[in-house]
Amino acid sequence: MSAPQVAVVTGGARGLGEAIVRRLHADGYRVAVADLGGASAEALAKELDGTATTARAFTVDVADRDAPAALLRDVLAAFGAVHVLVNNAARTQATPVMEIGADELDTVMAVNFGGTFRACQVFGAHLAEQGYGRIVNMASLAGQNGGTATGAHYAASKGAVLTATKVFARDLAARGVTVNAVSPGPQDGETVRTVVGEDGIEALRAGIPVGRLGDPAFVARMVALLASPDAASVTGACWDVNGGLYLR
């Protein structure tokens, strides 16, 4: 019997990334928990598998231009293969557009777009060479509607991720690699509560057509479906989960 597939999740130690890691691990993947917070990644990996057989932590800063190549090398050394990449690492800031400084703009873009783009290049090339792979990029409602609660730089970076997803999907399709995006709206999690504050949650919920925040566990299931071998006919797509805030 062949070994379970290996999935790499960036920003995998907390929030939506943690939910994705847990879902993929529960589905039988060996999971590389890649995160800037090495201690948090290590704690999650140990909780999932104390023997480091099916879950391992990797400390990575996706803003570092050399990070994707180093991460690929380290995961291959640890697990012997890679089949799935989930680009989830992101930096969220809600600075008013006219107050965003050059350094803050560069930082947000380097993580959210640059990290995703370079990982698609590095992992995409490896997956194409082996003739199979799944890449799922975490986009955002903000990248579709220009953002409301999030900063303009965050919204712009996620819009760029959506376009890059199409570009890589077209380039890699003939070599067995699919590239898709999932675009969540406000989720019932730490990031949204930090951005809008506990006092703003009810007002935010009231403005969502379905009247509720999204469930990170459901988003994780969407990611897992796109990551599966059965998703061979889906590429270049963006799956929305925004409660009706953006319809197309």
Residue 148, pLDDT score = 77
Residue 197, pLDDT score = 80
Residue 17, pLDDT score = 97
Which amino acid, one-letter code, is at 10?
T
Domain 6-185+215-238 classification at class level: alpha beta
Q: How far apart are CA 92 and CA 35, in angstroms?
A: 15
Residue 192, pLDDT score = 77
Residue 196, pLDDT score = 76
Which residues does the chain have with pLDDT short of 50? none
Q: How far apart are CA 166 and CA 230, in angstroms?
A: 20
**Following DSSP, what letter does each residue of 115-130 receive, concatenated?**
HHHHHHHHHHHHHHHH
Q: How far apart are CA 42 and CA 75, in angstroms?
A: 14
To the nearest 10 degrees (0 to 180), the angle between helices 216-227 and 15-26 is 50
Residue 20, pLDDT score = 98
Residue 77, pLDDT score = 98
Q: Which of 29, 132, 154, 246 is catalytic?
A: 154
Q: Are 188 and 214 in contact (CB under 8 A)?
A: yes
Decide if 246 is catalytic: no
Residue 93, pLDDT score = 85
* Dihedral, CA of residue 19, residue 170, residue 244 and residue 14, to nearest 10: 20
